[in-house]
Structure 1
Amino acid sequence: MGSAPRLIVSLTGGPMTAPTYEELAALRAVGAVHRVFVPGSGESRLVVTRDAARAALTDPRLRNDIRHSASWDSDGGHAIGHNMLQSDPPQHTRLRRLVAGHFTPGRTAALRPRVERIAHDLLDALPPAGTADLVARYALPLPVTVICELLGVPESDRGTFHTWSNELVMPTSPEAAGSAATALTGYLTELTDAKRRTPDGTLLGDLVAAADSGELTPGELLGMAFLILVAGHETTVNLISATVHGLLTHPGQLARLRAEPELTEAAVEESLRYHSPVHASAFRFAAEPLELAGTAIAAGDPVLVSLAAASRDPAHFPDPDRFDIGRRPRGHLGFGHGPHHCLGAPLARVEAAVAVRLLLDRHPALALAAGPATLTWRTSTLLRGLVELPVRLG
């Protein structure tokens, strides 16, 4: 692995950037675990093979709670409450159980007609021909509307909420992230107070009731509201736009999907593998000394699992850099793995499949309105997504 840590993420006055797929492949070719340096976080171990990634994500000695970090002294000032992503069993188990029933495949299937209605309304608002930014006009408002309706966020607040959310998951600067955290904390505090005064049967209303009955602390209520609102749409925005991008930049695959619309769900799965909207896991911290894929990890050391690298591991996905909607990529890590596997995966899959299918039905001549090389992918250590997706509609 060499004596010097590799620089995999930089923050030089602008957006954070993550390693490219080519860089990840080069690392994976020479080892499963690498010592890297992440500005703002320090040295870490980066896991880049699928087998090592699955082992790391299920190893109980690797904890999500930052207090297991050897360098921990505070949350950095940007934490909003205490949520599932930053906790471990038994706390994680208790928190997840409180909301898991809202995201079962059955509950998600019942939401499908509403998802379709929202998608139709957004498509109706697009011009029948000409160009449009598919992120701003379609891929973003669809999951934002769905999760905000589920939780009970007023329609008038949704645009502002997304601005704060996006800044927190893909920060443009530490100062901007801090301001967004402060603003969103205040907003969620007011919103939960409103649900307490006027119960409304929404998921957030149920969480407020759980807090009032002693099942959640005030900090956990705030953290749960934050996590569900943010995770409930940020990754799905990226998944929808990346799936459309993958199809429009691979004409043969687009033609196949138009001829075989029953492959829509398979196309979404391949996009999860190929584009990895969630680029990496949250940091894990070794609660005790351990060995991972032959690499010694000291107690307190951080570990970052590259879901993107794992999902393009040629040992499990032949010709991994080829986008193939007929692949059926079982075992990809697009939604993570283990106890922290994405709770909202069923809903994200439904939203993406509905969005892609209805878009292609409505616009048979859909095409990119800009060269693929000119498009900007906004990345952080955690997420990767298109800033804009300009398309010709007809």
Structure 2
Amino acid sequence: MARIGRCWMAVFGLTLTTAACGSSDVIEEGTEVTPITRAESPDNEFTPVELEARVDNLVAELNKSSLEPMQMVVLLKELSGFFEPITTGANRAMGELEVTGNVLGPTDQSDDPTTSQDLQNQQVKQAVADGAAGIGVSPFDNVNAAAIDEAVANGVHVVTLDSDLAASKRSLFVGTVNKAAGATAANTLLAALPEPPGTVMIHGNVGPEWVDGYDRTQGAVEVLANAGYTPLVTQAVFFGDNETFDVDWMKSQIESADPPVIGFLGLFNISYRCVLAADAAGIPDVPIVAYDFDPKTVDYMRKGRILATHTQRQYYEGYLVPYILYGIKTIGIDATKQILAPLVDEQNRVNIGIDVVPADKIDAYNAFLDSIGSIQ
């Protein structure tokens, strides 16, 4: 049977981004099957070679099977900002697979988190009602687990991305495994630190209530502690008019640290504040390593104040999900996991890794993002 794609639409205030759309729902007998063909991957130092190889292997196995039409949807918290590269990647993959599907997100971000959570639950239910065989979803909270479980009970494969709901019945999670990401960032800083003893300030998350932030922080803490340094975690403050408070608090901790602070590691998009704290405490020459690609972080990298940053692979996060959903439906979950095995951990998480971007590679990294159509 030949593969076809057509558009479908859910309602209740959603922005819709179209993937592959065909002109007909009718498949004629004897129609030749079109093999899946991927867009050529860029030849770049930042191209994730192992990840690309896994997708190639999955496509090769899929092309040996009976390729069938499939309807799927990818549900995101929003379609702009952080999620824009995810949208790009998911749409590209659905186009290559010639599936019926869309990437959906709310048109407005409500200040009430319950509204967003309820809307996502409605989206999941609507996708099931509309006949989707696979759903990719970036869940808001545990309150979305019941809707995911209901979809699975109705025979729909569900893959989470960006944030996980491990307690749900989702098949796999695709994204950054935060403990590993924190460890990678800490290892980048290690290369620039003087020999221990010394305190390394981590601009991270101290409480386990925010699981992703806590896991990332603990991954960094373990690497630094095992290397003989004293990790000092200071809570990153995100909300309100907080930059001055954040910097002043870091300054006070730096001044009381014993042994003295000899390096900084920022683990979120406000990592650039480590530079401000170092200046405020009178230690501007200590090495600083950051996370994410905030314009202020990039500016400090160009000025030589931040040695490197670490960015999430949002494009690949979106790109992998349709392929995984199609793989689960076509060759089964076990065969799909076996092909992806080097990336899959014991918690059924597909770790797409992070990019390490040195300060002297900013332009090269921007060129790579441009080559895959990813804006960060």
TM band (smaller chain): under 0.3
Q: TM-score, normalised by structure 1?
A: 0.25
Report the structure number with the largest CA radius of gyration: 2
Larger RCO: 1 or 2 (CA < 8 Å, sep 6+): 1
Q: Larger % of strand: which?
A: 2
Structure 1 or 2: larger helix share?
Answer: 1
